[in-house]
Structure 1
Amino acid sequence: MSQKLVSARIPTPGKILSREIEAPGWTQKDLAEIIGRPVQTINKIIRSSGQITSETAIELSQALGTSPEFWTNLEAKYQVYLVVSQKT
């Protein structure tokens, strides 16, 4: 009996970011102002049409009290998930 393994669905970095900014009651605009980025950058990450760069990971970590690695790991795992899910 041969079974095809399917990778588990993982949350997008944008979904996690959305939850993180909702916790203190911030909007996307608030976070954009805090980290000095255009609100479009935050919106693209939340909609999964933009990736979290190393620079953005550092800015997010400083604003949200996390580590840059938290954000880069989320992004890397999500990108691997996308590749694997396309092959299955």
Structure 2
Amino acid sequence: MAILREALNGMNFDDVALAGELPPVTPGEVLREEFLAPLHMSARALARDINVPPNRITDILNGDRGITAQTALKLAGRFGTSALFWMNLQVAYDLAMAEHEITHAA
């Protein structure tokens, strides 16, 4: 079941990103599963659509790169979301990772 674009801005992903001992969900996973997969869109096609290098998108999808403000603006324009939606996903992920590092420090 797909999520309506209008509903995304009001959604809170804290419970997903901060899922206890499960690894936090990366913004790239959300991009892949909730946006690209339903549209059968490749990373290369998205990169072309938003005028960024293809490796930027593949790095985001692989969790090797975060979403910057510039990329958030471009994703928002392409998918009809807000840039804040993408930035909030990134911040929630970063906070979850920092919390994990602090609580599991030796």
* CA displacement 1:41-79 (0-9 Å, x = unmatched): 001111111010001000001111111010000000100
Q: 2:30 aligns with which of 9, 16, 21?
A: 16
2:50 maps to amino acid = I
- 1:58 is the counterpart of 2:73: yes
Q: Which ranges of structure 2 fall in alignment gaps of 5 or more residues? A: 1-17
Query: TM-score, length-normalised on structure 2?
Result: 0.73
Which protein shows a greater Rg? 1
> What does residue 27 of structure 1 align with?
42
> What does residue 75 of structure 1 align with?
90
1:38-53 alignment runs, 5 A limit: 38-53=53-68
- Structure 2: distance between partners of 1:34 and 1:22: 16
- Structure 1: distance between partners of 2:68 and 2:54: 15
- Displacement after TM superposition at 1:23 (Å): 1.2
Q: Which ranges of structure 1 fall in alignment gaps of 5 or more residues? A: 1-6
Q: CA RMSD in A?
A: 1.1
- Structure 1: distance between partners of 2:86 and 2:94: 12
- Structure 2: distance between partners of 1:55 and 1:82: 22
Aligned residues: 82
Query: TM-score, length-normalised on structure 1?
Result: 0.88
Helix, strand or coil at the partner of 1:63: helix
* CA displacement 1:5-28 (0-9 Å, x = unmatched): xx5243110100112111111100
